[in-house]
Structure 1
């Protein structure tokens, strides 16, 4: 499977770019899965639901299934967060996996950048960033795309991964 990342600081436009890329690339006939890193505790379950009760009773894994979808939740409890390479093993084979976050891992990435955030440009120090998508001109050596140039960015990523 091919993997490509979208990184950037908070409010840089990563999630919007990911969403547009999934729409664009799947519209071209490729299968795409996504993996997003959350920097905070999150819960896809809700108090009072049976699955929530199972988890809080101590279940290591809870699998929910319906006619429309299934989801597997695994409780880490006091264990370390899994590395990206281990998480990728849980995904079914597809043409492309787009990863939001995991900026310290060594897969190829595009950086989303918005001037208003006033953060440093990660691409200046990170050779795994192959291009930058920004809403302003930047002094970078990598190719730069307008943040909303979804077609151009998709063309670049698909070319990079050989699809």
Structure 2
């Protein structure tokens, strides 16, 4: 299973790029899964629903199943967040896992960048960033240490780069 990340600062365009990459790569015949890191507490469950009540009562895991999908919720209950490698080991095998976030992990990444955020590039200080996708490619080209720079909206070129870098072309 190949792994490639999309990273960047807040409001840099990561999620939009991830969405476009998943659509493009799956239309191209790849089986793709995703991992999204959230820096805040989140809940995919709803208060009052049975599964929520099971978790609130203290269940370590709740498996919710319907004829359309299933989801397994693990409660950490003050245990540390599992490392990315441990989470990836739990996933079904696919051709490519796209990882959003996880800036500090060592997998290869594309950095998403929007000039209007005013945020500095991560790429110059991080060798795991293999390319930059920016809405101002000409403005950042000289700042990437020679790494490829793509227009943030050029999904086909970014997807092709990820395929080549991952050995999936």
* TM-score interval for Structure 1 and Structure 2 normalised by the shorter chain: over 0.9
Cα RMSD for the two superposed structures:
0.5
1:33-72 equivalences under 5 Å are 33-72=33-72
How many Å apart are 1:117 and its aligned residue? 0.6
CA positional deviation for 1:89: 1.1
Partner of 1:79: 79
TM-score by length of 1: 0.99
Give the number of equivalent residue pairs: 163
Residue of 129, 154, 167 corresponding to 1:162: 167
Mapping 1:1-163, distance limit 5 Å: 1-136=1-136, 137-138=139-140, 139=142, 140=144, 141-163=146-168
Deviates more, 1:44-53 or 1:132-141: 132-141
Separation in 1 of the partners of 2:33 and 2:90? 11
Please state how far the C-alpha of 1:37 moved relative to its aligned partner: 0.1
Partners in 2 of 1:98 and 1:67 — Cα distance? 26
Runs of 4+ in structure 1 over 4 Å off: none
Listed one character per residue, the Cα deviations across residues 82-131 of structure 1 (whole Å, up to 9, x for unaligned) are 10001101110000000000010000000000001111100010000000
Deviations 1:49-104 (A, max 9, x none): 00000000000000001110000000001110010001101110000000000010
C-alpha distance in 2, partners of 1:68/1:89?
24
